Amino acid sequence: MNDAPLAVVLAENWNYLVVITLMMSGLFIVISRSNLVKKLVGLSIFQTSVFLFYISVGKVAGGTAPIITGDPDTLYSNPLPHVLILTAIVVGVATTALGLALVLRVYAAFGSIEEDEVLAMKAEDGFPLLRRAAGREDGE
């Protein structure tokens, strides 16, 4: 395949191009954004790109959906990556849900969801359960 011109190689592997584009944009959002919700959006995009990667890898050229047709010559696509990704989607959803729940709590405790603002705030405890009046001092 190395003999083919670059454009043709890229066109033949367009699915990977999509995956890479999504992956890089997702990762970039996670790293560069300060807004906690946007970070989660980036994380979702990043994970979704991986799902796409698995699914497109599982596709066998000319193969049909992996449902038994009865014809022994049928070419099937590989079902395993799809099943794996079902699991991964569940994990991804759980991650996003937990992340959003945390963002809610962050907002309740700090009044902001901008990471740099939140990090700049002092130690001041959220809801101290165990505080003694005398002799306490802040960690920093």
Partner 1 sequence: MSIYTLFNNLPALLVVVPLLLSPIATLIPSGRLAWVIALLGTGVSVIAAMLLCSVTASGIRITYFLGNWPPPWGIEFVVDGATSLTAMVMATLAFLATLFAGRALAAEIAAKDVGKAYAAWLLACGGLYGLVMTADAFNLFVFLEISALASVILIALGAGQDRRALIAAYNYLVIGAVGATFYVIGVGFIYAVTGSLNMADLAQRIPDVEAGSIIYVGFGFMVAGMLVKAAVFPVHIWLPAAYSYAPAAVSTLLAAIATKAAIYVLARIIFTVFGGVPEVTALALEWVVVPLSIAGIFLGTIMAIYERDLKKMLAFSSIAQIGYITLGMGIATGAGIAAGFIHIGNHALIKGGLFMAVGGIFLATGARVSVDSMAGIGRKMPVTAAAFLICGLSLIGLPLTAGFISKLYLVRALLDNDNLLIVGLVLASSALSVVYLWKIVEVMWVRSARVDAMEISERPALYIPLWLVAISNIWLGLDAGWLVGAAEAAAASLLGAGG
Q: Tell me, residue by residue from 68 to 107, as one string, x for binding to partner 1 by CB under 8 A and - for no binding.
A: -------------x--x--xx--x--xx--xx--xx-xx-
Instruction: Give the contacts of 117 (CB within 8 A, at least 6 positions apart).
Output: 110
How open is the CA angle 18-16-33, to the nearest 5 degrees? 45
29 binds partner 1 (CB under 8 A): no
54 binds partner 1 (CB under 8 A): yes
127 binds partner 1 (CB under 8 A): yes
**Which positions lie near partner 1, rule CB under 8 A?**
23, 27, 30, 36, 39-40, 43, 46-47, 50, 53-54, 57, 81, 84, 87-88, 91, 94-95, 98-99, 102-103, 105-106, 109-110, 115, 118-119, 123-132, 134-140
